[in-house]
Amino acid sequence: MCGIVGYIGMQEACPILIKGLRRLEYRGYDSAGVSMINEKGELNVFKAKGKVDDLEAFLSDKDISGTIGIAHTRWATHGIPCRENAHPHFSSSGTLSLIHNGIIENYATLKERLIEKGFTFVSDTDTEVLVQLIEYYKLEYKSDLLSAVQRALAQVIGAYAIAVLDKNNPDEIIAARKASPLAIGLGEGEYFLASDATPLVEYTHKVIYLDDDEIAVINRNSGLQIITLQGQAVNHEVSEINLDLGAIEKGGYEHFMLKEIFEQPDCLVNCMRGRINPEGTIVRFSSVIDNAEQLLNARRYIIVACGTSWHAGLIGKTLIENFCRIPVEVAYASEFRYSNPVIGNGDVVIAISQSGETADTLAAIELARSRGAFVYGIVNSVGSSIARNTQTGSYIHVGPEIGVASTKAFTGQVTVLTMLALCIAKERNTITQAELEEALGELLAIPGKMAEVLSQNDAIASLSRTFTYAQNFIYLGRGYNYPVALEGALKLKEISYIHAEGYPAAEMKHGPIALVDAEMPVVVVATNKLLYDKVLSNIQEIKARQGKVIAIVVKGDDTISKLVDYVIELPETAEFLYPLLASVPLQLLAYHIAVCKGKNVDQPRNLAKSVTVE
Ligand code: F6R
């Protein structure tokens, strides 16, 4: 969702803000804007529809001077993408400018009240209501900006990370958060603000993450002060960010998504490091050791997540049930949060999230905790809200994921779930040491095998050209491979805008097979040892209806391979590890089809990387 950047210090703000917006452009890219206070004390706001490049072009002949400023890249919630709706928003008098990430749910009521008081609006956004409300309190109570922000936020229902500038106080930025992330970078005599740490790393490694209902007053002379909405001072720990600048740049690849697909073998090595010993005899998680009572004796596990992370959760269910013999449910976080789940003491909720900021997953965690469940987070983004709001958990350690379509985070999540299932199973004695060692040996070999799969990139690229003009796709899989089919379909939809559906292969005959004709490409993940003959029959049914089958098979397969139109081979591994290998060619297939279609792979239309609103 929207990205926020801010700067106050001795340097010119605008170049820092623009660079920050580029780092955050993966969060929102339908419009962007900046606001600075210049030496003359003028508060300027410049905005443009489109990408940060469009904004930069627009700025070329403007007065962009000033050592204090805020900036925003937008993902539309209220109002279409256009210059008027872009942030920052001015207050009516032009003395305040404000940026916002989140949703003000009661904006319509507040707007009505403000209109009655004579305020006028130039945009359709909920954000403009907030800046006008702050102005109203400032005028009404003849107060300073901080008190006006406190009064306004007390009226707001919803989620926000905001930053405000006041023309009358060119030495201060006020920022606040509730349910939308906000990080403050601490430099030497300068401060930075951002929705996540990526814009901060080139300036500082010292960061404070604001908590909900907190306000930061960042003053050029008196420094940083953090208070609650009610005005009580808060002492915050300073976190150290260990983010390598190279990890957030493309490093010679055409797109972040391709870079991230190719990083996967290294990511999985990082993910396993320190958890599995090199001999492959032990798998350990301190989170399991420290919380053995809750995790080993759980009545039930419930996995909550959204999108790709939900698909990883489906694989997690099969892993935990097979290895640990604990029942597992998997819920969409967005459904779970508004259900009335039968959940409480004795239940463990596993929340999975790449960004660690997904609003629905955060709300699901809150509900689960309020009912007494123990919550375990599987997160990529270090220090994120989900990481901080769960009782324990594991990072996946795959590094920043910038491409909007999730790739390396998915395989990282599946790897953590696999290790976690094996660790819990061993502690519960539901697997033997010999079984554990066999499984760990196979898992340790996965990065090497993944690299073999990646070496087929050119062949997959040329296969993709055949399907550039397909209107629909079906993806099929069974058992561990069913979520892989769902994930393959999601990847294709997201970046190529081709309609795609994933099904458990045997479900075809209950309806979807009616869709199959000579125009229908069907991708079948056919690596199952146990259900090989069943999957073979499913493929025969599609071939009998002239469907074009692309099969993902195990190297050496000579039955399915002969029957289908196109084959992608995977190295042999254990049944439960095929999702890690099979998802790679599906990522590449989606990537190359989208590239052939000329789509913006890293920033697909309508999507945002971090879904911080409902
Ligand atoms: C798909 C994708 C989304 C996310 C979903 C959850 O490629 O990226 O479906 O998986 O929005 O996001 P996180 O994992 O950040 O909670």
The CATH number covering residue 500 comes to: 3.40.50.10490
> Is 610 among the domain residues?
no
On the CB side of 285, CA atoms within 13 Å amount to 29
> Is 25 among the domain residues?
yes
Q: How many domains, in total, are found in the chain?
A: 3
> Is 521 among the domain residues?
yes
> Is 613 among the domain residues?
no
Residue 152 is part of a domain; what is its CATH number? Answer: 3.60.20.10
> Is 606 among the domain residues?
no
Phi, psi of 518 (to 5 degrees): -65, -15
Catalytic site residue 2?
A: yes
How far is residue 479's CA from residue 319's CA, in Å, rounded to a whole number? Answer: 10
> Would you state the pLDDT for residue 606?
85
The one catalytic residue among 259, 426, 493, 609: 609
Q: Which of 390, 419, 444 is the last residue of a domain?
A: 444
Same domain, 437 and 469: no
Catalytic site residue 82?
A: no
Phi, psi of 563 (to 5 degrees): -85, -25
> Would you state the pLDDT for residue 251?
82
Compute the distance from residue 561 Cα to the ligand 1 centre, in Å: 33
CB 207 within 8 A of CB 185: yes
CB 40 within 8 A of CB 4: no
Point out the ligand 1 atom lying closest to the alpha carbon of residue 305.
Answer: 16
Q: What letters, b where the CB count within 10 A reaches 16 and e where it falls short, cover 382-397?
A: ebbbbbebbbbbbbbb
Same domain, 207 and 308: no
Compute the distance from residue 300 Cα to the ligand 1 centre, in Å: 25
Compute the distance from residue 427 Cα to the ligand 1 centre, in Å: 31
> Is 611 among the domain residues?
no
Point out the ligand 1 atom lying closest to the alpha carbon of residue 310.
Answer: 10
Compute the distance from residue 555 Cα to the ligand 1 centre, in Å: 31
> Would you state the pLDDT for residue 530?
85
CB 581 within 8 A of CB 558: no
For ligand 1, atom 4: residue with the closest CA: 307
Same domain, 367 and 389: yes
Same domain, 263 and 376: yes
**Beta-ladder partners of 104:** 158
Say if strands 214-219 and 347-353 run parallel, antiparallel, or are unpaired.
unpaired
Same domain, 220 and 275: no
> Is 614 among the domain residues?
no
Instruction: Please compute Rg for the chain using Cα positions.
Output: 25
Point out the ligand 1 atom lying closest to the alpha carbon of residue 491.
Answer: 7
How far is residue 439's CA from residue 422's CA, in Å, rounded to a whole number? Answer: 8
Q: Residue 364: which domain range?
A: 250-444
Same domain, 21 and 109: yes
Same domain, 438 and 457: no
Same domain, 374 and 463: no
Same domain, 529 and 431: no
Mutate to test the pocket of ligand 1, among 26, 308, 380, 591 (most ligand atoms within 8 A of CB): 308
For ligand 1, atom 5: residue with the closest CA: 307
CB 328 within 8 A of CB 301: yes
Same domain, 377 and 437: yes
Looking at this protein, which amino acid is placed at residue 294? Answer: Q
What is the edge-to-edge ordering of all strands in the sheet holding 169-178? Answer: 89-90, 96-104, 158-166, 169-178, 214-219, 223-228
Same domain, 126 and 54: yes
Looking at this protein, which amino acid is placed at residue 180? Answer: S
Point out the ligand 1 atom lying closest to the alpha carbon of residue 381.
Answer: 15
Say if strands 328-332 and 300-305 run parallel, antiparallel, or are unpaired.
parallel
Mutate to test the pocket of ligand 1, among 1, 358, 497, 607 (most ligand atoms within 8 A of CB): 358
> Is 612 among the domain residues?
no
Q: What letters, b where the CB count within 10 A reaches 16 and e where it falls short, cover 17-47?
A: bbbbbbbbbbbbbbbbbbbbbbeeeebbbbb
Contact residues of ligand 1, CB 6 A cut-off: 306-309, 353-355, 358, 361, 405-406, 490, 494, 611
Q: Which of 212, 243, 274 is the last residue of a domain?
A: 243
Distances (CA, A) of 417 to 79, 81, 314, 413: 40, 39, 10, 6
Mutate to test the pocket of ligand 1, among 309, 486, 495 (most ligand atoms within 8 A of CB): 309
Residues of the chain with pLDDT under 70: none
Q: Which of 444, 464, 482 is the last residue of a domain?
A: 444
Point out the ligand 1 atom lying closest to the alpha carbon of residue 307.
Answer: 9
> Would you state the pLDDT for residue 179?
86
Compute the distance from residue 354 Cα to the ligand 1 centre, in Å: 7
Same domain, 382 and 417: yes
